[in-house]
């Protein structure tokens, strides 16, 4: 048990340069939330739903992180800072990193059957701050979701998703081969949601330029035809 705890704390320290010691990591709200979830999930599996919910509410009160007791969580989950919501049928693999203000949300099936309605995050996934991963989709191993992205479709293994709705983007090989990338994306190279308005304006400008070129070509074509008729 002690060896597992030390391994867990070391896995967090490898992903976060801020803590000076393991003792400091024990004070992280994400560590407390995951620990209390283990208890709540054990109660949930034993059909002690009220007690499971009670532990869940205590955890949310103290940490600001809401993990449904039914969610299945693997080893070494690191929730950095907090204010995260993880739904009932969510499944999280090993060595997953989730930054602040993330939602692993569900969809309401049309047939009214609860079933699987929350995401599955496989091993090594990184979810950037503010991202929304919605529905019974799968984020493949080592998949990365950038900050504020909204993901509603399956993410292939190793893919990097950015934007609203999220789309796959190319990443330089040197970045792709890195063992861990904070916030899921090399922020200096990829589209930053903070510049979304600038990106939209650029796209609109390109569209207007294409329309202008078409109009000019059409106008020149009409002028050439008129000149040919006059010469005839």
The tens digit of pLDDT for each residue in 189-228 reads: 444 455 555 555 665 676 677 778 888 888 887 776 766 6
pLDDT given at position 34: 95
Q: Average of pLDDT values for 87-106?
A: 93
pLDDT over 70 (residue 45):
yes
With CA atoms as reference, report the closest residue to 10 among 59, 62, 57, 78: 78
- Token pair of 13 as six digits: 């320290």
> How far apart are the C-alpha atoms of 186 and 147, rounded to whole Å?
11
Enter the pTM of the model: 0.73
End-to-end CA distance of the chain: 96
* Residue scoring higher pLDDT (226 or 131): 131
- Which of 130, 139, 133 minimizes the C-alpha distance to 183? 130
Residue 12, Cβ neighbours under 10 Å: how many?
A: 21
């Amino acid at each position: 048990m002690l060896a597992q705890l030390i391994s867990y704390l070391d896995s967090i320290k490898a992903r976060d340069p801020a803590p000076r010691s393991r003792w400091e990591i024990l004070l992280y709200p994400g560590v407390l939330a995951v620990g209390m979830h283990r208890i709540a999930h054990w109660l949930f599996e034993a059909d002690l739903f009220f007690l499971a919910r009670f532990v869940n509410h205590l955890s949310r009160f103290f940490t600001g992180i809401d993990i449904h007791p039914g969610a299945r969580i693997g080893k070494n989950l690191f929730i950095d800072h907090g204010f995260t919501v993880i739904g009932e049928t969510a499944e999280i693999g090993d060595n997953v990193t989730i930054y602040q203000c993330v939602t692993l949300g569900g969809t309401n099936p049309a047939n009214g059957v609860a079933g699987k309605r929350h995401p599955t995050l496989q091993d090594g996934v990184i979810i950037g701050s503010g991202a929304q991963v919605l529905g019974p989709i799968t984020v493949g191993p080592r998949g990365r979701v950038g900050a504020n992205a909204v993901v509603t479709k399956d993410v292939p293994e190793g893919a990097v998703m950015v934007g609203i709705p999220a789309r796959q983007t190319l990443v330089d090989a040197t970045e792709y081969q890195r063992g861990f990338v904070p916030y899921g994306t090399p922020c200096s190279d990829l589209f930053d949601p903070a510049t979304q308005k600038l990106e939209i304006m650029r796209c609109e400008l390109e569209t207007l330029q294409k329309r202008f070129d078409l109009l000019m070509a059409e106008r020149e074509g009409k002028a050439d035809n008129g000149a040919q008729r006059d010469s005839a």
